[in-house]
Structure 1
Amino acid sequence: MKTRDPELKSELDAALHARSELGSEYEPALVESFLEKVEQQLDSTLDRRVRRHLAEQRVSVARGARPPQPLGNFGERYGFGIISLILAIPLSAIGAAAADTGGLVVAWLGIIAVNAVHAARNWPWFSHRTGRADSDWED
């Protein structure tokens, strides 16, 4: 068995040796004991990684870099675009009927502007200009 953790390998070897000495009736207890040790090892590894990641984020924030901002969930980002395209059909018809090509152009410029503002909400320079405060509570 090739492993990066010699302690875990020795635990497995001990469990296999104990199984050969004690017999198969103790096998469930030996397997459960070994799996608990594997779980503890995984928990400690995961805990170390999370702590390291949090420390890296804190250092990055202390140096003045903003943490990466999520761009919103799938439904919010694409749903808004889909709804605006659905609403574009009647708006285009109304604009074209009211003022021919000029009305159609105005309707589509409005649709593009609304979508651009919605997309720009997640840009770092836009959020600072609008006076939004950075907060740990924001998504």
Structure 2
Amino acid sequence: MQQERDVRDELRATIDARRDLGPDYEAALVDSLADRLDATITARVEAELKRRGKEVKRKEDNPRSIVPIVLGSMAIGIPLTAIASQAGTVGLLVAWLSIVLINIAAAGALMRRP
């Protein structure tokens, strides 16, 4: 019940701050409150899972995430395309084929990892 009281106090404080600061700060106050609520909900879920004896696995703990590799490939691919386009179609094919092969190799390595 203490957590519910804390959430209510946070909401009241946010509303009071909005009154004091005005509408210019409304978006920042809403974002801040949403972050605090998200943290509170996450803590409650983790506590309940722990109480039930279940392992809590966070998304960022997942070693199999390929998202950084894919985003990195796209970030490198944009300037690489500009550079490779100077060599024509063959340059573009070599550059993007290399990126595709690197992504396939990385995905395969992540799949094989325990």
Q: TM-score category by the smaller chain?
A: 0.3 to 0.5
Higher helix fraction (1 or 2): 2
TM-score w.r.t. the length of structure 1 is 0.36
The structure showing larger relative contact order (alpha-carbon pairs under 8 Å, at least 6 residues apart) is: 2
Question: Which structure's CA Rg is the greater one?
Answer: 1
